[in-house]
């Protein structure tokens, strides 16, 4: 039993998807659709940069969707991907939009627009320099949560933003509060890494962004997905279109429960985890979570052929 995984922010790189763009007219069409919808050339930013433009959240989010969806379409149309062998689709943060598009729950054009607006709203929710995010290495998620809970007298927000894997957890919040927590962890010889991000994502500071996106998401047409979608907020399957809308709004300021999502799919008998899109971030997280999991990352035509051989 298999699942398709779709990456989120952090997987982007200039030139991602270039091989598919050069070789398939259908991919050129997808890129052109994204350009037309956004009214500027996201294609040029994806394929040529510059780096600072691609790293801008309002561009990163629709860019990753565009590349992920392009690879999915080639898998389906050119290489005969048999969706009947896939039990779930799951996406990390913005990757959930990719999963919804590929499961025919959400129109690609609508998703490109929503992610562009989502990126702007998340960037504008907190003034630059007022928030921060750190990666905490080597601790289990519940251990980190217990340490956060023990700091209730501290002012401001400090919460788990991404529960990626045991030993790889991201904390987000007010800059001073997160910095104080980082010092506390250092005193316990716990390693942390500050993340180069433009805003403190997936924490309560993102509530203004969620409010901005609420009307836009609710006005968009969603259908029940053809493949079960694993939701970031609940870490379980969700197929009701109206609930999906609400959870996409909540997701903006809620913890991405990725580790639990992978574990829950594994408990349901999933053996093969196939990551579609730029990078191999989710493949690494899955290997940390499920020892001995069969993981495949699709970044090239050769990767697709290798996947078909292994399956």
Burial class (CB within 10 angstroms; exposed 0-12, middle 13-18, buried 19+) of 31:
buried
Looking at the chain, list the stretches that DSSP marks H as alpha helix, in order from N- to C-terminal side: 18-23, 25-38, 42-48, 51-55, 57-77, 95-102, 108-125, 141-149, 175-187, 207-219, 241-251, 258-267, 281-289, 301-310
What sign for the dihedral angle of Cα 257, 197, 122, 108? negative
Burial class (CB within 10 angstroms; exposed 0-12, middle 13-18, buried 19+) of 35:
middle
Contact call for residues 158 and 125 (beta carbons, < 8 A):
no
Let me know if 116 is a catalytic residue: no
Q: Which of 132, 202, 261, 297 is catalytic?
A: 202
Q: Which of 43, 70, 93, 254 is catalytic?
A: 93
Strand order in the sheet with 131-137: 158-165, 168-174, 131-137, 192-194
Let me know if 105 is a catalytic residue: no
Mind telling me the catalytic residues?
Answer: 93, 202
């Amino acid at each position: 039993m298999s699942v398709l995984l779709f990456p989120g922010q952090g997987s982007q790189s200039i030139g991602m998807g270039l091989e598919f763009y050069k070789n398939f007219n259908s991919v050129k069409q997808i890129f052109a659709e994204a350009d037309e919808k956004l009214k500027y050339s996201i294609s040029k930013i994806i394929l040529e940069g510059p780096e600072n433009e691609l790293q801008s959240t309002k561009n990163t989010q629709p860019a990753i969707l565009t590349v992920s969806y392009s690879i999915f379409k080639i898998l389906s149309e050119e290489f005969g991907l048999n969706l009947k062998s896939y039990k779930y689709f799951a996406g990390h943060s913005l990757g959930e939009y990719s999963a919804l598009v590929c499961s025919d729950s959400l129109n690609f054009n609508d998703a490109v627009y929503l992610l562009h607006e989502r990126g702007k709203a998340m960037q504008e929710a907190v003034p630059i320099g007022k928030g921060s995010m750190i990666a905490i290495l080597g601790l289990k998620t519940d251990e980190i949560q217990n340490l956060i809970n023990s700091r209730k007298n501290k002012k401001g927000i400090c919460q788990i933003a991404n529960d990626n894997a045991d030993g790889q957890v991201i904390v987000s919040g007010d800059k001073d509060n997160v910095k104080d927590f980082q010092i506390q962890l250092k005193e316990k010889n716990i390693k942390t890494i500050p993340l180069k991000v433009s805003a403190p994502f997936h924490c309560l500071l993102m509530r203004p962004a969620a409010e901005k996106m609420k009307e836009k998401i609710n006005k968009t047409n969603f259908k029940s997905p053809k493949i079960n979608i694993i939701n970031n907020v609940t870490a379980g399957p969700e197929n009701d279109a109206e609930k999906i809308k609400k959870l996409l709004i909540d997701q903006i300021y809620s913890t991405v429960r990725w580790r639990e999502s992978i574990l829950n799919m594994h408990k349901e008998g999933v053996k093969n985890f196939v990551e579609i899109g730029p990078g191999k971030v989710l493949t690494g997280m899955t290997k940390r979570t499920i020892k001995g999991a069969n993981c495949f990352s699709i970044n090239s035509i050769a990767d697709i052929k290798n996947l078909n051989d292994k399956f």
